[in-house]
A = this chain, B = another copy of it.
Amino acid sequence: VEVSRGKSILAAVGDNMVSQPGVAGDFLSALGQAGVNIDAIAQGSSERNISVVIDGADSSRALRAVHSAFYLSKQTIGVGLIGAGLIGQEFLKQLQAELAQLRSSFGIDVRVRGIMNSKRMLLDGKDERGVPEIDWLSFAHHENSKSADPNFFINHLNSSHLPHRVIIDATAGDSFIHSYPEWLKSGFHVITPNKKANTQSLDFYNSIRTAEKAGKKRFLYSTNVGAGLPILQTLRELCQTGDRMIRIEGVLSGTLSYIFNTFDGKIPFSEIVKEARKLGFTEPDPRDDLSGTDVARKLVILAREAGQKIELKDIEVESLVPESLRDLSPTEYLDRLSEGDPEMSSELARAHSRSEVLRYVGVIEESGRASVKLASFPRSHAFSGLSGADNIVSFHTTRYRTRPLVIQGPGAGPEVTAAGVFADLLRLASSLGAPR
């Protein structure tokens, strides 16, 4: 006989419990998933009791895990939101409005366990019930809010006994993207509207996919192209069901869509750009839009989704900023914006002479060639009918070879982007077994 010390006994007791198929399994599964070693199992002949011997150090974790297994919905998801700008706040508002409905109709129990911006963070209590909804939007001013500390934030979420946890990166920068692989491996799902991670090197892109598989967790980013429009999701399903991409073509920038939908020759190009800037449609420095880099980023994401091994630098980009204006300060640039007008006017005249209109498009060919360029389209073409700041994408595939599958609509803005992030969260819940 050998005596082991520091052991605990955890017992589940209930009338006729043992004769109900599955109870013992659920009990032991919960311990297994929580990483609790079981030294011995005993089931009393009374059929009212199943007991396990475990390490004493594991006892608190084991108790919580078993409690979760029997009393929580399997779709209980702990959410950590990083970034509370326009998109993050809008997401919280939309989630607030649907929380009760999700719980009652779909059994999805979303708990916002932490919200953090660049300065402050607010975390929920040890009961893991989530930050109360009423504090979501004002979290930074809550008396329990602390200075933002990403490590502390992640650890708080990570020490959870909820069945699932997800980090939503709603920041605009690249501060957190290099943590995605680590997060995925350590048990977090990751959702982001941020394009940065998917436009890094192919090596980094692949490292995220490897981490997804290693951690059996999911990385969701449907809003990277076209915000709430079902563009990436559709492409993914076409590819997964064995369709082959022949050409993807689209107007992928709301800003440039607006500019060329408006540019009909009556007003100089530079005036339209200035007007768009005044309306807040362009970045403060319009060159950030006119350079085509944003469109190129979206093209990389689409091409990679379609299975192409492509880097951002492989994309041929026709910048709409004349070379002579590229190195100017923003103010100088705006002053001299009209210097590009003759070139744009002659492009437009060429298109008009063929009864066509100008659109700034991104194109991915089956061959792997990808380009961002100014092109002209006949008036019967779907791209000609664009108006407002709509995005449009047409998928020419083996199945849609005669006529493409086309998706069109507003492809930017906090409301539709947040809705897309929300849809990703529901897709995640669905993949965890929630009914859709």
Contact = CB atoms under 8 A, between A and B. Distances in A.
Interface of A: 18-19, 21-43, 45, 50, 94, 97-98, 101, 106, 212-213, 216, 218, 228-230, 233-234, 236-238, 240-243, 380-382, 384-385, 387-390, 399-400, 402-410, 415-416, 419, 422-423, 426-427, 430-436
Contact of A431 (B388, B422, B430): B430
Contact of A416 (B29, B390, B399): B399
B24 A26 contact: no
Give the oligomeric copy count.
2
Given A22-B32, A97-B242, A426-B241, A435 B213 contact: yes
Contact of A410 (B45, B237, B243, B403): B403
A303 to B, nearest CB: 18
A41 B41 contact: yes
A218 B21 contact: no
A334 to B, nearest CB: 28
A212 B419 CA distance: 26
B400 A410 contact: yes
B241 A230 contact: no
Q: Among A33, A34, A390, find the residue whose CB has the most chain B CB atoms closer than 10 A.
A: A390
Contacts of A408: 382, 405-408
Contacts of A39: 18
A24 B28 contact: yes
A379 B374 CA distance: 24
A43 B45 contact: no
A279 to B, nearest CB: 13
A32 to B, nearest CB: 3
A297 to B, nearest CB: 22
A167 to B, nearest CB: 18
A422 B94 contact: no
Contacts of A212: 435
B21 A25 contact: no
Question: Which 10 pairs between the two chains have the least Cβ-Cβ distance?
Answer: A22-B32, A25-B29, A25-B28, A25-B32, A405-B409, A241-B422, A406-B408, A41-B43, A98-B242, A21-B32
Contacts of A21: 31-38
Contacts of A431: 430-431, 433-434, 436
B405 A400 contact: no
A416 B402 contact: no
Given A28-B24, A218-B436, A435-B212, A45 B40 contact: yes
A98 B42 contact: no
B380 A402 contact: no
Contacts of A432: 433
A98 B433 CA distance: 24
